[in-house]
Amino acid sequence: MRWSQLHIPTLREDPAEAEAASHRLLVRAGFIRQLMAGHYSMLPLGIKVRTKIIAIIREEMNAIGAQEFLLPCMHPAEIWERSGRLGHVDVMFRLKDRKGADMVLGFTHEEIFTTVAEELSSYRELPQFWYHFQTKFRDEPRPKSGLLRVREFTMKDSYSFDLDEAGLDKSFDAHRAAYERIFARLGIPAIAVEASNGTMGGKDSLEFMCPSEAGEDLVATCSNCDYAANLERATSALPAVGDEPGPAAPARLETPGVRTIEDLAAGYGLAADRQIKTLVQVMNGQPTLVLLRGDHQLQDQKLIDATGVSEIRPAHPDEIQAALGALPGSLGAVGVTDLPVIADLALRGRRDMATGANTDDVHLTGVDVDRDIEVGTWADLREVTAGEPCPRCGTPLQLIRAIECGHIFKLGRRFTTAFGVTVLGPDGSPIVPIMGSYGIGVERAMAVIAEMYHDDAGLAWPVQVAPAEVTVIPLSPRDNAVVTTAESIYADLRAARTDVVIDDRDERPGVKFKDAELTGIPVRVAVGSRDLVDGLVEVARRSTGEKERVPVDQAVKRVTEMLAAAERS
């Protein structure tokens, strides 16, 4: 490649709208351009990185026996009706064709791969691992941070089909191991954490999270054992609370002006951990009381997972007053029998507690949860906080910010059942295959690598995904000896099958150096008149800034050694 012939529109100033480092640098270095919010054009250098990421993913998927497909990204809405997800996914793009038929743009492909699985007929064909690289569309309400949260992106999504749960466990483990190899090869220090399955359904899932301040997720981790979980799934081993028995019945307490947990604690000496917080949530149209300890926060996804509801929102004040006869600040579940009550496990067995009386400006004290409240469902609903004991070993948990890089799910039989997929078992009876789903966002992986590998001067790509491995820079384009030497090194590197670009532009050395650093090419070979007098060229590593002068006839060998060492590290 010759720089003079490439489209690399580098910028000297940061784009005003960029927040994340990856967004700022991928735009500045000429890898991407925004078309509109959440939609990006991939320029030649971006394509080079994307292609190398895909190649690594493809190699590891093929290594576990997965077969590559390419399925459509536009689907008839009827397919999504069959799975039950059409009306319950708010990020789905919908449209009509010229005949008025309802269509959707795929935000994932469980349904579509399951239609292909309808042709499976025998247990002898299982297990099957199928994957593709395809565009996904998600109507994100707030696309931001460049490629980290977009509305159009490429995903490698794969799907496994097995006869039984034991087979699914093996398929899941195979994909987990493949993902660990993929992220290691990409240079992404991802950790596997327990996660919610969300709209996918199924029982278990793992997210691969990369610690980064640019991340939107918080992960609870233990420094003493391998426990790690997304906040949507994390739990902890709270110490047992020994309550006194309390009075024989709740007592009424006048609390004028009290509206919050903090008001009741400050004005009446009732500590937050001795209060019952009552939230009113409308779940599939049904007002429901959700109870937590006063010092705990509700984790919305835990509530969704515990109940299986598809629609949930906080109740409006008028709905709350109609249901309970009071406004927020005085709400409670004592004596409530006509509404569902869901309580967090931390309230189980608690006595001598305080809660609202469902009368404005009045609370109840001496509440015994088991005696006074009809709890219909107990579940882990609260959000874990830093410092709480690890559920496995008791060590204080840490919360770290991270970027999701991949997600793998044990889906179960939701989709195969909906689409009537069966195979004949060994005894001739029909068996419904069980599925797994496994995803990696390609452009997001590019952004995560950029977040991990950059400095004040620009990007610093790992060799295995860099847009080029080496840039050769003739510093004096009007010096025939410099140009001849640079061209010779360039030709020899190409002959050695090195991914190399020569910066043959008629530009000042400073401009060429800055562009080489900004674009993050791992090794730079600078050919200058002064060094050439001594038969030397300068070889520099982008990641460390180290420079060394080597004889011209040793330059290719030295560069090759550097690249090999970088790939091993």
pLDDT digits (tens, 9 = 90+) for 18-43: 889 999 999 999 999 999 999 999 99
* CA distance to 135, 181, 207, per residue, from 109 (Å): 10, 24, 18
State the CB neighbour count (10 A cutoff) for residue 16: 6
What's the mean pLDDT in 178-204? 86
pLDDT digits (tens, 9 = 90+) for 363-382: 999 999 999 999 999 999 99
Residue with tokens 């939107």: 216
Evaluate if residue 331 carries a pLDDT over 70: yes
**Is residue 522 very low, low, confident or very high in pLDDT (cuts 50, 70, 90)?**
very high
Show the tokens assigned to 456: 């004040």
Domain ranges of the chain: 15-73+106-234+399-451, 251-379, 468-568
Evaluate if residue 197 carries a pLDDT over 80: no
Evaluate if residue 310 carries a pLDDT over 80: no
Evaluate if residue 425 carries a pLDDT over 90: yes
Out of 307-316, 319-328, 354-363, 482-491, pick the least confident.
307-316
Instruction: Say what the pLDDT of residue 202 is.
Output: 58
Evaluate if residue 255 carries a pLDDT over 60: yes
Instruction: Say what the pLDDT of residue 201 is.
Output: 56
Q: Which residues pair with 139 in a beta bridge?
A: none
Instruction: Say what the pLDDT of residue 7 is.
Output: 97
Same topology, domains 15-73+106-234+399-451 and 468-568? Answer is no
pLDDT digits (tens, 9 = 90+) for 393-421: 999 999 999 999 999 999 999 999 999 99
Whole-angstrom Cα distance, residue 109 to residue 118?
15
Whole-angstrom Cα distance, residue 567 to residue 185?
9
Residues 6 or more apart whose CB falls under 8 angstroms from that of 261 comprise 272, 275, 277, 294, 295
Evaluate if residue 552 carries a pLDDT over 60: yes
Instruction: Say what the pLDDT of residue 199 is.
Output: 60
**Is residue 242 very low, low, confident or very high in pLDDT (cuts 50, 70, 90)?**
confident
Instruction: Say what the pLDDT of residue 120 is.
Output: 97
Instruction: Say what the pLDDT of residue 415 is.
Output: 96
Which of 3.20.20.80, 2.60.40.10, 3.90.960.10, 2.30.33.40 would CATH assign to domain 251-379? 3.90.960.10
The angle at the Cα of 216, spanning 215 to 220, to the nearest 5 degrees, equals 85
Whole-angstrom Cα distance, residue 133 to residue 153?
10
pLDDT digits (tens, 9 = 90+) for 88-111: 888 999 999 999 999 999 999 999
- Among 563, 567, 542, residue whose Cα is nearest residue 460: 542
**Is residue 568 very low, low, confident or very high in pLDDT (cuts 50, 70, 90)?**
confident
Residues 6 or more apart whose CB falls under 8 angstroms from that of 560 comprise 496, 498
Answer yes or no: are the C-beta atoms of 433 and 228 closer than 8 Å. no
Q: Domain spanning 15-73+106-234+399-451 has what CATH number?
A: 3.30.930.10
Give me the CATH topology for the region 468-568.
Rossmann fold (3.40.50)
What's the mean pLDDT in 265-292? 95
Q: Is the dihedral of CA 75, 79, 80, 83 positive or negative?
A: negative
- Among 203, 214, 175, 245, residue whose Cα is nearest residue 407: 175
More confident residue, 216 or 9: 9
**Is residue 271 very low, low, confident or very high in pLDDT (cuts 50, 70, 90)?**
very high
Share of the chain above pLDDT 70, in %: 99
What's the mean pLDDT in 468-488? 95
Q: What average pLDDT does the structure give for the chain?
A: 95
What's the mean pLDDT in 213-232? 93
Segments of 368-444 assigned E as strands: 377-379, 398-412, 423-424, 430-431, 434-441
